[in-house]
């Protein structure tokens, strides 16, 4: 939905930039931005509650109906629904009894420390991989390759947002097929290679608009870079941290991740324009180096969570933390539920 809004904003800006020459050039895009928040306020009332929240707050019948609605076409007596209800309730009970519910719980155990480290990395990597340069300062990037016409710049921005929407939507369909870890690794490697080529081409152009072929190559690799960003960090930015944290500290874990995201944005909002103005394309070298770090940390620290329920992921981080008898019963329940027609 972010890119859907970006499409509306970018093409509205392009239209007003091209056809208007007064204050309405910026007023119309500003007014349009109020439309989507109004739609969100209306649609919030139609969102269902989380089954885990319903069970945790004693609304078991509503949770049962909600799970059945999406998993078994409304059949609340299906063994899969009964297993999921029991699994969620058992997990919530264990987490409530074992958790202090304090912020220190994020670092109390080796498993939680790893979860928190990954959440901070995902939030930080999502901005420091170089995407913030293009997202907020595309005009400055285009200036470095000699594309200074405002109509051309807003057109490129509009096309980029359409491309991002298609790429992110396609990637969302692949998350459960390819897995989280392969997408993160593919994304990191692709962004690194794209940024290296982008940097090299920018160095060749170096503000000289006479070398149009190399300038077009830079624009192409901006799109290629964004493709590799979109396949992982758009669908998994919040999804992956939400999966790895247990129920009792999930909201705190996601809060820490968002703190990393917005802290990075604040820093980069001040640093990026100054660096691009002072050293131009040389600033990209920093992001090339940082993307190497992204690739290394992803390779060694990001586990695969595909195919695991939110409850089963605890074993990936905490080892044999779940009682063995309950674990065996749970696995048999899953297998049975999967094969009942």
- For the chain (341 residues), the mean pLDDT of every run of 10, in chain order, is 79 85 83 81 87 88 89 87 88 68 85 94 95 84 82 89 90 88 95 94 76 84 93 92 86 93 94 89 93 96 84 77 42 41 44
How far CA 62 is from CA of 44, 51, 76, 309, in Å, comes to 18, 8, 10, 20
The pLDDT score that the predictor gives to residue 295 is 97
The greatest distance separating any two alpha carbons of the chain, rounded to the nearest whole angstrom, comes to 73
Q: How far apart are CA 202 and CA 208, in angstroms?
A: 10
pTM across the whole model: 0.74
CB atoms under 10 Å from CB of 229, counted, come to 25
Q: Which two tokens stand for residue 175?
A: 């998350």
The pLDDT score that the predictor gives to residue 207 is 61
The pLDDT score that the predictor gives to residue 100 is 58
Whether residue 223 contacts residue 163, with contact meaning beta carbons closer than 8 Å, is answered with yes
Q: How far apart are the first and last CA of the chain?
A: 36
């Amino acid at each position: 939905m972010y890119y859907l809004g970006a499409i509306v904003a970018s093409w509205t800006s392009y239209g007003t930039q091209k056809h208007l020459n007064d204050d309405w050039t910026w007023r119309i895009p500003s007014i349009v931005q109020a439309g989507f928040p109004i739609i969100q306020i209306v649609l919030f009332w139609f969102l269902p509650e989380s089954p885990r929240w319903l069970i945790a707050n004693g609304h078991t019948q509503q949770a049962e109906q909600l799970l059945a609605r999406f998993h078994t076409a409304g059949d609340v007596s299906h063994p899969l629904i009964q297993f999921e209800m029991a699994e969620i309730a058992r997990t919530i009970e264990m987490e409530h009894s074992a958790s202090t519910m304090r912020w220190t719980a994020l670092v109390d155990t080796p498993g939680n420390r790893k979860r928190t480290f990954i959440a901070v990395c995902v939030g930080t990597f999502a901005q420091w991989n170089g995407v913030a340069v293009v997202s907020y300062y595309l005009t400055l990037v285009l200036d470095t390759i000699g594309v200074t016409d405002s109509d051309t710049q807003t057109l490129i921005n509009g096309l980029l947002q359409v491309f991002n929407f298609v790429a992110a939507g396609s990637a969302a369909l692949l998350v459960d097929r390819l897995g989280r870890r392969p997408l993160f690794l593919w994304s990191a490697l692709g962004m690194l290679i794209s940024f290296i080529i982008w940097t090299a081409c920018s160095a060749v152009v170096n503000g000289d608009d006479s070398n149009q072929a190399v300038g077009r190559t830079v624009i192409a690799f901006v799109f290629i870079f964004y493709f590799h960003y979109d396949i992982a960090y758009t669908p998994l930015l919040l999804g992956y941290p939400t999966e790895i944290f247990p129920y009792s500290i999930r909201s705190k874990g996601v809060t820490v991740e968002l703190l990393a995201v917005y802290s990075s944005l604040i820093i980069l909002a001040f640093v990026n324009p100054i660096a691009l103005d002072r050293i131009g394309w040389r600033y990209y070298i920093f992001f090339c180096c940082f993307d190497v770090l992204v690739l290394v940390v992803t390779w060694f620290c990001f586990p695969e969570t595909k195919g695991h329920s939110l409850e089963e992921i605890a074993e990936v981080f905490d080892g044999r933390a779940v009682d063995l008898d309950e674990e065996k019963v749970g696995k048999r329940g899953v297998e049975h539920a999967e094969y009942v027609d």
